[in-house]
Chains A and B, each alone.
Chain A
Amino acid sequence: MARILMCPPEHYGIEYEINPWMNTQRQADHALAAEQWSRLRDLLESLGATIEQLTPVAGLPDLVFTANAGMIHGDRVILSRFRHPQRQGEEAVDAAWFSENGFQVERLPEEHFFEGAGDALFCGSTLFGGYHIRSDAAAQQEVGRLVGCRVLPLELVDPYYYHLDTCFCPLTPTAAVWFPHAFDEYGRRVIRAEIPELIEVQEDEARSFACNAVVVGSDVVTNTGCPDLHRQLKAAGFTPHETPLSEFVKAGGSAKCLTLRLDGEEAATW
């Protein structure tokens, strides 16, 4: 059964600007955010997932985006090292939760930046690692060395798609959703060569965080506003679901960012 870590948006808000989506003048509606978060949790539970909760901490508004806590591999977690000081306070909170919940916590050397499942997604046994905007290419290689897997670092070239999970979502070991324009030519060639079944997202839906999807079995959960992707997913045999997450899009996050799969993503075969 799928186990997912989420953090209630009690202290969520736009308190700083560390990506192009964030604007402290355009605050999130706190009550609406709480409602959207609850609806996402309920939807995932209805799909059979067990939701674990991380206790929110005042002053850490982005703790709600648990995808960035670390990268799970079996009972190990490679803890994130956030690039921006605004989020570095999350590391100790995440580490404590993982330790208390039976994970072996591993840290990268200090010179690396690595933002967990936000930038590190398995498709099959290969780890696809986003780099340049938040995580480092060298950090991705180090993660691969630690867990003994093949890593293909992909450069992210559009600041709106600053994490890999905003433009790429593995569905199965051989299929993924992606937005090609977020990658450079080298990255596009790698993805096309490695993943046989690719579902391409159009720009307007990519902006609605279509790629930031949560996959539970053959169910795929996204933000609202992604009809073309949903049509393609249905045609490919998946069951798409939508739930409004507008208040989190204001901070540059959506369904996937709000979750961390603790038992390994559907597409991972390790």
Chain B
Amino acid sequence: MMNDSQAASPTSPNEPTAEVEVRGHIIDSLILPKVLDLITSAGGHFEIKDISIGEQRTDPSHARLTVTAPSDERLQEILNAIFDHGAVPVDQYDCRWEAADMDGAFPEGFYSTTNQRTQVRIDGKWVEVADQEMDCGICVDPAHRTARCVPMVAVKKGQAYVVGHRGVRVFPPQRIDAAHGFEFMNSAVSTEKPKSVAVREVARELFQARQSGSRTIVVAGPAVVHTGSAGQLCELIRRGYVQYLFAGNALAVHDIEQAMFGTSLGVNLDRGTSVEAGHEHHLRAINRVRRAGSISRAVEKGIVSSGIMFECVRQGVDFVLAGSIRDDGPLPDVITDVLKAQQAMRDCIRQAGFCLMLATTLHSIAVGNLLPAWIPVVCVDINPSTVIKLNDRGSFQTTGIVTDVAPFLHTLLEELDRQESQA
């Protein structure tokens, strides 16, 4: 039987790796099997990243491998040994760059980033890429040996951008390992897993984040209010578990409507019945906040005296409300320019260490696109497709908990009580 760890993928994400390529008639000459044999017999592992076999007899073939070894020394020994047989490290070159020839667009052939940790080689030295984000370009400053991800819209003419893959290395996605608390997850979406275990892990993560001073983002949809869970989110905020709130106009509107009228979209949240003229409540709520000038001014004036937004203002939680075309109002705090909203979220993300997404598909995906792969994400949604969509878009670090948000928050607070009392 084939031993998986022998045959292919690296065993631990923390083991040193290097990417190499082998070119030529590597199949007929048995050079490729020889290189692979050398790697495994020296205690390393390999993963064939891609391989192309020449069609005609004279056409060369090409293979790109990731070599992993238990230590840097062993990796170097393996690289030296296979170098002899023509396996050349891909990253023996500096990255190449070109100056942007216009604002708002990369040079042709730009290197398109992933959300994974990335380094570029400048003057023979590996430089960490800052502000890691997927679907960006890498802007380099060769003089200062710095590099950072920049989205297309922020490109300025004359900036230097990495082109091609040479001299760029991406670290394999780190599966959230046992040390990080999410060992209960073998599959990203857990409809069939015991929820209490999952919630306990989230509680532990939140608690550790608060203890260590790391910042947590909550991305929340209006369902948090509709389902009557605003109080629990408020409690999380009051207890210092939330540092950033990302949402849309709707969450804030329904939360403030509830604070003012006790209804959400005209439905009394305590009794579950429609209130007369209740459909007007949310517009009246928006109007009052607009008259005050902002949510924080409305809180100061006592117009809003409870709810999620109230707690955010009182606890100093930074919130980013991103607008959409179907918004009523919107509230004065809503950023209607999506690019500005994205940038506001980026500014918060740079400081964050954990992200909890509650019952929102579009905002979850939008935030997922901005997060580097090493920030763990827990996505709670009654609809498994939200988590699947996040994964499909490359936010592989997402752990999904398929459940209604109300029982989730209820259990989460109970677990936090337990964690706090044990601490």
A residues near B (Cβ < 8 Å) are 125, 131-132, 136-138, 140-141, 144-145, 148-155, 186-187, 189-190, 193-194
Contact = CB atoms under 8 A, between A and B. Distances in A.
Interface string B63-98: 000000000000000000000111010000000000
B86 A150 contact: no
A148 B56 CA distance: 12
B84 A141 contact: no
A181 B25 CA distance: 23
A150 B85 CA distance: 16
A150 B25 contact: yes
Q: Is the interface of B mostly helix, strand, loop or mixed?
A: loop
Task: With a 10 A CB-CB cut-off, give which of B23, B28, B31 has the most chain A CB atoms.
Answer: B31
A187 B29 CA distance: 7
A194 B29 CA distance: 10
Nearest to A141: B24
A136 B86 contact: yes
Contact of B58 (A131, A132, A150): A150
A31 to B, nearest CB: 42
Contacts of B31: 137, 153, 186
B30 A150 contact: no
B57 interface: yes
Contacts of A141: 23-25, 60, 86
A137 B84 contact: yes
Contacts of B60: 141, 144-145
The bracket for how many chain B residues form the interface is 10 to 19
29 contacts: A125-B58, A131-B86, A132-B84, A136-B84, A137-B24, A137-B84, A137-B85, A140-B24, A141-B25, A141-B60, A141-B86, A144-B60, A145-B24, A145-B60, A149-B58, A150-B28, A150-B58, A151-B24, A151-B25, A151-B29, A153-B86, A155-B34, A186-B30, A186-B31, A186-B33, A186-B34, A190-B30, A193-B28, A194-B28
A141 B27 CA distance: 13
Nearest to B30: A186
Interface in B48-66: 57-58, 60
Given A141-B23, A141-B60, A186-B33, A152 B28 contact: yes
A122 to B, nearest CB: 13
Interface pairs A-B: 9 shortest CB-CB: A137-B86, A141-B24, A152-B29, A186-B30, A138-B86, A186-B34, A150-B58, A137-B85, A150-B25
A150 B84 contact: no
Interface in B1-56: 23-25, 28-31, 33-34
A138 B88 contact: yes
A125 to B, nearest CB: 8
B26 to A, nearest CB: 8
A131 B23 CA distance: 15
Nearest to B59: A150
A189 B30 contact: yes
Nearest to A125: B58
Q: Which of B23, B25, B58 has the most CB of A within 10 A?
A: B25
A86 to B, nearest CB: 22
Contacts of B30: 186-187, 189-190
A153 B25 CA distance: 8
Contacts of B86: 131, 136-138, 140-141, 153
Contact of A144 (B24, B34, B84, B85): B24
Contacts of B88: 138
Interface in B322-378: none
Contacts of A149: 58
Interface string B163-186: 000000000000000000000000
A141 B35 CA distance: 15
A2 B84 CA distance: 36
Contacts of A190: 28-30
A114 to B, nearest CB: 13
